[in-house]
Amino acid sequence: MKPLQASSGDVLADRRADYAEMLFASGDHAPAADLLRGALELAPAWALGWFRLGEMYEAAGDFSAAGNAWETARGLDPQDRAGAGLKLALIGQIPEPEAPPSAFVEALFDRYADKFDASLVDKLGYRVPGLLFDALQAQAARRFRLALDLGCGTGLMGERLRPVSERLEGIDISAAMLRKARAKRLYDRLEKVDLQDFRHAGDAPDLVTAADVFLYVGDLAGVAAAVSRLLAPGGLFAFSVEKLAEGEEYALQPSRRYAHAEGYLRRVLGGAGLEVLSLQEHNIRHDRRQPVAGLIVVAARSP
């Protein structure tokens, strides 16, 4: 997918945008927004510039102006690769979507692929693959005939699954992530697939995993039903989510990731014919130097 234009295409506008970023970094949010607004008068079709302007207005406390900037960004880029619609939902200007735009998720991970492993594991203390693997081993210390790794990314979960899988397949929305995974030579098959329109042809897997994938899916009913249909009888479904306090089913967070409540997960899985075998709370990574609470879930399709 073509990335969003990082430059306005106008030298003077770019220079003003750089000055705006310097002001913003120093805490002068409103003057930074004013300066970037001036840059956009020179480059009015710069979608990423309008998105950034919205963030500057948001930091300055001017949510009306932020919303207008994000609406402009979304109008200039109907695919919404910057995720302006999610920002609009967070300030209450539009209803919260059941999932983010696929183009936003694809662009995010295409951009992040080269530094994904180092950033997530070394800097943020990412623990989900190990936690999921330990939860699986506690339920079924055996080899799997076919494991399907949803949202496989660069293969961090695949590194755990390879020794216990006769065949290992991975799917992901990001071509850049898939290139990284392919270089590790862990998977027997990799395919570019949008989880929001998830299909799987071939043998029924006896294990499906999704490590930190549902952070970018709000309503899990559809994917739970799809996994239940494709799993072999007695097959396992292991996944993680960020934990949401009870009272809501799922909610979009300021990070533009979704969190899910334990009760909601149990209802969705049960409705899809999946029995929860284990559901444990763990700190799954850090974000802004704070631990992030998550849920590690293993469920099974009835034999």
Each domain of the chain, given as residue ranges in start order, spans 11-95, 112-301
Q: Structure pTM? A: 0.92
* Top-level class of domain 11-95: mainly alpha
Coil vs helix vs strand at 172: strand
Nearest-angstrom CA–CA distance, 280 and 297: 7
Phi, psi of 195 (to 5 degrees): -60, -25
Q: List all residues 6 or more positions away from 228 whose beta carbon is below 8 Å from its beta carbon.
A: 237, 272, 273, 274, 301
Closest by Cα among 226, 231, 188, 228 to 207? 231
Architecture field, domain 112-301: 3-Layer(aba) Sandwich (3.40)
Q: Which two tokens stand for residue 33?
A: 């927004």
Condensed to tens digits (0 to 9), the pLDDT of residues 184-219 reads 999 999 999 998 887 787 889 999 999 999 999 999
pLDDT of residue 63: 97
Phi, psi of 102 (to 5 degrees): -60, -35
Taking only the tens of pLDDT, the chain with its 303 residues reads: 666 788 889 999 999 999 999 999 999 999 999 999 999 999 999 999 999 999 999 999 999 999 999 999 999 999 999 999 999 999 999 999 999 999 999 999 998 888 877 777 777 788 999 999 999 999 878 899 999 999 999 999 999 999 999 999 999 999 999 999 999 999 999 999 998 887 787 889 999 999 999 999 999 999 999 999 999 999 999 999 999 987 789 999 999 999 999 999 999 999 999 999 999 999 988 887 788 899 999 999 987
Nearest-angstrom CA–CA distance, 16 and 18: 5
Helix segments in the chain, DSSP class H = 11-25, 29-42, 47-59, 63-76, 84-90, 102-112, 116-117, 128-139, 156-161, 175-184, 221-230, 262-271
Nearest-angstrom CA–CA distance, 296 and 294: 7
Residue 281 exposed, middle or buried by CB count within 10 Å (0-12, 13-18, 19+): exposed
**What is the DSSP code string of 201-268?**
-SSPPSEEEESS-GGG-S--HHHHHHHHHHSPTT-EEEEEEEEE-TTSSEEE-TTS-EEEEHHHHHHH
Q: For residue 198, give the DSSP letter.
A: -
Cα of 166 vs its chain's centroid, Å? 28
Q: Count CA atoms within 13 Å of residue 34 on its CB side.
A: 5
Tokens 């989510």 belong to 241
Q: List all residues 6 or more positions away from 177 whose beta carbon is below 8 Å from its beta carbon.
A: 109, 110, 113, 116, 152, 153, 154
pLDDT of residue 200: 80
pLDDT of residue 150: 97
